[in-house]
Amino acid sequence: MTFYDDDHEAFRESVRTFVDREVRPDLDDWDRDGLIPRDVWRTAAKVGILGLRIPEQYGGAGVSDYRFRCVVQEELARVGAASLASGMSINDDVVVGYLTRFGTEEQQSTWLPSMASGDVVASIAMSEPGAGSDMRGMRTTAVREGDSWRLAGSKTFITSGYSSDVVIVAARTGTKEGRPQLSLFVVPTTTAGFSRGRKLGKIGLHAQDTAELAFDDMLLPSTALLGEEGRGFHHLTNQLPLERLSIAWRALVAAEAAFAWTVEYTKERTAFGSRVIDFQNSRFRLAELSTELDVTRAFLERAVQRYLDGDLDATTGAKAKWWCTELQQRVVNACLQLHGGYGYMSEYPIARAFIDARVQTLVGGTTEIMKEIIGRDIAG
């Protein structure tokens, strides 16, 4: 049984046309500018690539089959567009999920149509300076004031933080049995008291804007609360398996793309009178990488199917995330080595893939945190 059917492959043709026309030619410009133009998002929306999960009544495609998102990720990886892939994942796999699962009718009707059209880019703000992935160490607070909320604090490492129009913010809203309680809030970036810090300089993903955000005693209406008060941990736990599956899939397809570039390069490049691929060491290394990729794809396709069946648990999401992102590091590093000195030249896609890959073992929870989640499950 194949993972994709005819509908997915027909969709792939549309995505490939969009990527070749609207993405591939401008990758260097986006890296230089540190930003992806909003017109790219709007064009993606017009051709049906953005907002796949958004219900039709809000202008989206209303598609629950995650394999269509997998196709988008594969085609972006094919040209090395990791920055756009990352931003779209936050938009479509994360924020849309929170709004459709926990949002009120008012919240959904306010934000989902503009997200579906590409006019609004969203981000999610959880990580904080000094706390990182430790949600219980969060210091951003939201305090009730009558029918309103007073939000104060700061966040860092926020994907699309410099360009986003709306942010889902996690904040402490109380304590229970000595433990902090979190709640989620939908925060328009036009709200008084909201500010963006510097656009953060990163090792890779140069076109993907990442920023610090600050909330200076912002007054939010009661309608800004997303989901239930004090249930933020539960809401986050509910959505994290898909977020980590999304990161895992991006990692796998990026590694597969790097492998494909490298096979072609080693067939064309010669050394000591022979093609690089004709050396036994090259063939053995490629054989190892090919096998690891095939085995990993089988596992990850099964994980996607579990998600489609409503059976993707946190432990499987953690396994997928740590394994695939660490695999991406190994594969991309090995592929750069097979390119020799040219692999270090920025004009070759493997060079961009190398620097873009490094963050993958950090975002969405580090490899060490993933292993802790898995280990706790094993220990019962």
Q: Is residue 229 annotated as a catalytic residue, yes or no?
A: no
The answer to whether residues 373 and 318 touch, using CB atoms and an 8 Å cutoff, is yes
The answer to whether residues 190 and 162 touch, using CB atoms and an 8 Å cutoff, is no
From the number of C-beta atoms within 10 Å of its C-beta (0-12, 13-18, 19+), residue 358 rates as: middle
Residue 23 CB neighbours (<10 A): 23
In what helix (H) or strand (E) does residue 179 lie, and over which residues does it extend?
strand 179-188
Name the active-site residue from 13, 243, 292, 372: 243
Cα 215 to the chain's mean position, in Å?
24
The answer to whether residues 344 and 270 touch, using CB atoms and an 8 Å cutoff, is no
Inter-axis angle of helices 67-78 and 6-18, nearest 10: 40
The answer to whether residues 180 and 210 touch, using CB atoms and an 8 Å cutoff, is no
Can you tell me the distance from the alpha carbon of 110 to that of 203, in angstroms, rounded to the nearest whole number? 36
Can you tell me the distance from the alpha carbon of 78 to that of 172, in angstroms, rounded to the nearest whole number? 41
| Per-residue b or e along 153-187, where b marks 16 or more CB atoms closer than 10 Å to that residue's CB | bbbbbbbbbbbbbbbbbbbbbeeeeeebbbbbbbb
Phi, psi of 194 (to 5 degrees): -85, 135
CA nearest to 192, candidates 142, 150, 234, 241: 150
CA nearest to 332, candidates 300, 292, 364: 292
Q: Which residues are catalytic?
A: 243
